Structure 1
């Protein structure tokens, strides 16, 4: 199964028989057997035929819509996976001890994963960033004593600032950046990880939906209009593991260049071009297919993509039992 990315304006996506077809403005045509498609990601201004929409919904193939800069707009999906009873249980756990303890576990894992990524790249550049890493580990210890989610998120925000300060020292000089920027990203590095986070969000959203959970009923992130807060909760432990590490590998490995990014003066920000997008997607797909043994409750190697699915299923068990200890965030070494 594969994800199909359409990143060119003016493309027309339809079906012919049992195949998905993509017709580009220059006359090129690509097609894929419907049975091999896991999801479709549209980035930019393309057209989807009503026949294709119907086929995708009948086959359970979600279609996600993004801007060319990676901003998420929404998705086309069937309603075949909705589980009202599970969602009622999920909703009832908002603002409870369950929500707080689950959030604490996720943020501790997130910061720990950030320290591992930072240590790896500091070592590869022969840099001494021990002071920054010690500060982040101190935040992890303080989290054991916090009393509420706002206090928890304060430590998360502090560690994030330290982490990105460290990464900015590890990245190649031409990709140097000052802190995190988004909506719009102000530099190539932030452009790359913002795109990556959007793709990660889409991957997790699909699984959350497939398992019958409501993507908008989160535990840690506060309710917000058009914000799938549960997906944001589940993304936290994966950001450094999948997206930041992929971006650093591409940049420091000279696989992606400064020339793959451009400044859009009509919509201020820095964005990735088509070639850069293809490079990033290819690298990230390879990462998602990589087998690892980081899950504590599985004694065999699974791909990162499969690990995401297993984590969502673990959350379903935790919700059904109302026990946050049923959920173990991924922690890398």
Structure 2
């Protein structure tokens, strides 16, 4: 199956015969067989014809709409994926304090573990500062399962994140150095790229949740928030470092992007990706999601990260159906 990303401003997507056809502003045309297309992401001023929208509904093709800089607008999707029995269970267990605590502890423990492993991969020379960061991150990871409530879990999550991002900021190429996590707006190229990546990942997880018949809006870790898919926020946590942070580090350390590929939007203060870097980022993201892994392969050898995310949501569905948080096991890399 294929995924289509269209970021060229002024492009249009239409349906002709058995194909989705992308017509770019300069006249170039790209054809994708309609039976192979599973997902479309459009960024900025990209048009979909009525015929293309109809074909998306008929074929179950999901369309996500973003701004030209990657801010999320909305989603075109059919209403075929709803398991009302599972959703009733989901809403019930989301009100169960102990269920939420146990699931959240598993998710955040895995998140911190994965951050530590990614950080260790990039440390070539140990320094007292890096040693202290690893110590604090490891300590936070060890404390999670002894937490009595969500506030304690979130507290250790915050401690680990602070040391993790400060350490990463010291390890990357000098032009891309940063002091820690910042967002809304992102103030440096690293934070700009991971914010974009997290947005894409959030809606990848969102689609997987819908695919398992659950509601993206009833969470266990994150508090209810108007118009925000909090369950998708929950379920992307253990994947952030594995998929996005490592990918952005690879782009920088591998010199696939240059500092000149970013600019400051003086109206908002945000550091944003120029068009060519944006395209490089999207290609890298899609390659990452297609990379095969042993995680959640269910005895089939290796599967893509995209499929692994879907299978992981399946494990959550089993926990929800059985009302047993022990049925869920998070992804922890080595």
Alignment TM-score > 0.5, same fold: yes
When the two chains are superposed, the root-mean-square deviation of aligned CA atoms in Å is 1.5
**1:111 Cα deviation (Å)?**
0.1
Please state whether the residue corresponding to 2:146 is helix, strand or coil.
coil
1:150 aligns to what?
151
1:330 aligns to what?
331
1:114 aligns to what?
115
Q: Any stretches of 5+ residues in structure 1 without a counterpart? A: none
2:284 aligns to what?
283
| Aligned-partner Cα distance in 2 for 1:5–1:171 | 28
Structure 1 residues 224-278: Cα deviation after superposition (integer angstroms, max 9, x where no partner):
1121011100000000000000000110111111122121223431111221122
Is 1:74 the counterpart of 2:74? The answer is yes
Compared CA separation, residues 57 and 294, structure 1 to 2 (3 A): same
Is 1:45 the counterpart of 2:45? The answer is yes
* TM-score (ref. length: structure 1): 0.95
In 1, are the aligned partners of 2:222 and 2:234 still within 8 Å (CA)? yes
In 1, are the aligned partners of 2:100 and 2:220 still within 8 Å (CA)? yes
| Aligned-partner Cα distance in 2 for 1:220–1:290 | 28
In 1, are the aligned partners of 2:297 and 2:308 still within 8 Å (CA)? no
* TM-score (ref. length: structure 2): 0.95
**1:291 Cα deviation (Å)?**
2.2
Compared CA separation, residues 26 and 218, structure 1 to 2 (3 A): same
Structure 1 residues 147-167: Cα deviation after superposition (integer angstroms, max 9, x where no partner):
111221111111111100000
In 2, are the aligned partners of 1:43 and 1:70 still within 8 Å (CA)? yes
Please state whether the residue corresponding to 2:182 is helix, strand or coil.
coil
In 2, are the aligned partners of 1:38 and 1:61 still within 8 Å (CA)? yes
2:293 aligns to what?
292
1:3 aligns to what?
3
2:232 aligns to what?
231
2:202 aligns to what?
201
| Aligned-partner Cα distance in 1 for 2:214–2:190 | 33
Give the alignment of 1:232-271 within 5 angstroms.
232-271=233-272
1:306 aligns to what?
307
Please state whether the residue corresponding to 2:64 is helix, strand or coil.
strand
Please state whether the residue corresponding to 2:123 is helix, strand or coil.
helix
